[in-house]
């Protein structure tokens, strides 16, 4: 059974406190509505970008194992939000000089790498550390 949007957010929230806080903040800001999944995923991407330099390799691996799983086993809305929200947020942070993408590339799965490379091709940008 594909992973549903709320389940995907719960899975991120279990990985570490800063991700759980980000999910809670987004939910609180959007009450009584549910926040758009892509917005929450983008926020989570920025949290990972900020934490990437200080988190352990194991912490990052757990995040990107989940990302790869959701890209493969999520409902279409989940797959889209992980790609266009989470991954694009990381690429944007890298492009702005706020993230060394090489740290992220070391733990990316094949689906995530493929999406990031396709996004670079689409935008005409070459993310350092992602080159083929």
Tens-place pLDDT, residues 16-75: 999 999 999 999 999 999 999 999 999 999 999 999 989 999 999 999 999 999 999 999
The structural domain count of the chain equals 1
Answer whether residue 128 is part of any domain.
Answer: no
Answer whether residue 50 is part of any domain.
Answer: yes
Q: For the chain, give the secondary structure using H, E and C.
A: CCECHHHHHHHHHCCCHHHHHHHHHHHHHHCCCCCCHHHHHHHHHHHHHHHCCCCCHHHHHHHHHHHHHHHHHECHHHHHHHHHHHHHHHHHHHHCCCCCHHHHHCCCCHHHHHHHHHHHHHHCCCCCCCCC
Higher-confidence residue of 131 and 86: namely 86
Answer whether residue 46 is part of any domain.
Answer: yes
Answer whether residue 131 is part of any domain.
Answer: no
Answer whether residue 132 is part of any domain.
Answer: no
Range of the domain at 14: 5-123
Answer whether residue 129 is part of any domain.
Answer: no
Residue 132 reports pLDDT greater than 90? no
Total-model pTM:
0.96
Answer whether residue 13 is part of any domain.
Answer: yes
């Amino acid at each position: 059974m594909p992973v549903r949007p709320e389940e995907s957010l719960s899975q991120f929230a279990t990985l570490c406190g800063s991700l759980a806080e980000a999910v809670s903040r987004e939910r609180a800001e959007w009450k009584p509505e549910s926040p758009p999944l892509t917005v929450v995923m983008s926020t989570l991407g920025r949290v990972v970008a900020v934490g990437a330099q200080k988190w352990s390799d194991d912490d990052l691996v757990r995040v990107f194992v989940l990302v790869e799983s959701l890209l493969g086993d999520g409902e279409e809305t989940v797959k889209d939000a992980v790609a266009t929200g989470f991954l694009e947020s990381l690429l944007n942070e890298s492009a702005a000089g706020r993230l060394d993408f090489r740290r992220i590339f070391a733990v990316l799965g094949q689906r995530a790498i493929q999406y990031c490379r396709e996004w670079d091709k689409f935008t005409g940008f070459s993310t350092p550390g992602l080159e083929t």
